[in-house]
Structure 1
Amino acid sequence: MKKLPRAIFVGATDTGVGKTLISGLLVDFLRRRGIDAGYQKWAATGCEEELPEDLATVQALTGEPPRPGGADPDLHGITKVVPGPSILTGLDLELAVPYRFSLPASPHLAADQEGREIDPARLLSLFTEARAAHEVLVVEGVGGMLVPLTRQLLLIDLVAELKLPTLLVARSGLGTINHSLLTLEALRRRDIPVAGLVFSDEETSPPEVIVNDNRRTIAELGQTTILGRLPRCPDHPSARTAFTPIGEKISQALLCH
């Protein structure tokens, strides 16, 4: 019987395209099917609170207890969690998001500004630990795939070293063809297995003529499978409902890797 890979990487064509939303919904989808799914993000920037916003969002999407801090309405149409004090233990937080920086910038620069540097060996060790703790580990990227983690290491090259099957998240509207095709080409040059691509709507009603052609063009020229399109949703329950058929397709695609 085929099984899902032990780890799945959720990458993106750019920053702010919805990969945190897709990551959280994928973890939630797997858990609702009885799979012990975990979450890890190697680096988070723009962290104003102890609990990174990305992790707080994933916790909210997976039904974990909400963190204090209120709400801010702008996560692809969904009210997002504003991180307050974390109730995670320090060890859990270190495992989930090993590097956290205050400057909202590329990790290499955010680390420079704090006199720090991301240690790839530490990331590999914590990745191995987190993967061993779960049936499936969903690893969320940071920014686009060619973002530098250090001045010597691109995010995509660490993914290639680990040979992680990758789910690519892209905007559904104008401008996504170029970003998507370039990212797919970079992934394949490094022999990274591509599970497929998920579109995420960046606006409530993007022009269907553009979205439909983007889907066809990227599928054909990028030689990849489009696993679905997530619309902007007003709340978490509607997002889970909209994601369910996408989650089914992702699961089937991952069984092939």
Structure 2
Amino acid sequence: MSPLIVTGTDTGIGKTVFSAGLTAALGATYWKPVQSGLEDATDTETVVALSGCKTLPEAYRLPLPASPHLSAEDAGVEIDLAQLEIPQVDGPLVVEGAGGVMVPLTRSTFYLDLFAHWQAPIILVARTALGTINHTALSLMALRNSNCSVVGVVFSGEAVPDVEKTIVQMCDVPHLGRLNVLSEITPETLKEAFAAIDIETIRGAL
């Protein structure tokens, strides 16, 4: 089975919560290659708590909550892209990026470069708030110009049908569903909310 990459249009838009739900729905393994920020629960710890699924250790754990290239420099290390090859696992693997498509890993490499190298199907998570049409269209353009395979867009937030429809039509991209705002995020509420996600289309990309 192919790995699935989860990236987003920005940071703090629900990629990790979506990744947890996706990992649980697929019975997959989860991997966060680079973790920036260790003061609060890491993304891997959040996914474990919400999915109960198997996870792989991060290739890099960097204390500073910032762009990976800045976190690495603060820690006195340089991210070696050779350490970021996708691991081989039994069954599906959900791989979560950091922030958005154009987040730097080093002073010369964006996450987009890594996605293009991996050549694995990508799910783009986009918030439904103001500005999302621009951010989503730019992210999709960058991915497609780098010959990345985009499975579709998952929206995060309150329903804004006209915005979602505009993105789907103008960007010619599948709508994979929307995760509503959860007042309490638990394994149970996430599983219930995930009924709105087109998991069959996602499975078809594996």
Match of 1:194 among 134, 146, 150: 150
Provide TM-score, normalisation by structure 2. 0.93
Decide whether aligned partners of structure 1 residues 151 and 97 sit closer, same or farther in structure 2, where only a CA change above 3 A counts: same
Between the aligned partners of 1:105 and 1:176, the Cα distance in structure 2 is: 22
Bigger Cα Rg: 1
Aligned residue identity for 1:235: I
Between the aligned partners of 1:25 and 1:253, the Cα distance in structure 2 is: 12
Q: Figure out how many residues of one structure are paired with residues of the other and give that number.
A: 204
Deviations 1:193-228 (A, max 9, x none): 100000111xxxx4x5xx111111100111101111
Match of 2:38 in 1: 47
The Cα shift of 1:255 comes to: 1.2
The Cα shift of 1:63 comes to: 2.9
- Alignment root-mean-square deviation, CA: 1.8
Q: Which runs of 5+ in 2 are unaligned?
A: none
> Residue 179 of structure 2 contacts residue 196 of structure 2 at CA under 8 Å; is this kept in 1?
no
Deviations 1:104-149 (A, max 9, x none): 110001100111011100111xx23xxx222111000101011011
Instruction: Summarize the alignment of residues 58-207 of structure 1 with structure 2, pairs less than 5 Å apart.
Output: 58-63=47-52, 95-124=56-85, 127-128=86-87, 132-201=88-157, 206=158
Between the aligned partners of 1:166 and 1:48, the Cα distance in structure 2 is: 29
Aligned residue identity for 2:170: L
Provide TM-score, normalisation by structure 1. 0.75
Between the aligned partners of 1:102 and 1:28, the Cα distance in structure 2 is: 27
Match of 1:242 among 193, 197, 205: 193
Alignment partner of 1:225 is 2:181? no
Aligned residue identity for 1:44: Q
Match of 1:18 in 2: 14
Aligned residue for 1:118, secondary structure, equals coil
Aligned residue identity for 1:136: P
> Residue 177 of structure 1 contacts residue 214 of structure 1 at CA under 8 Å; is this kept in 2?
yes
Deviations 1:235-257 (A, max 9, x none): 321221110240xx233244156
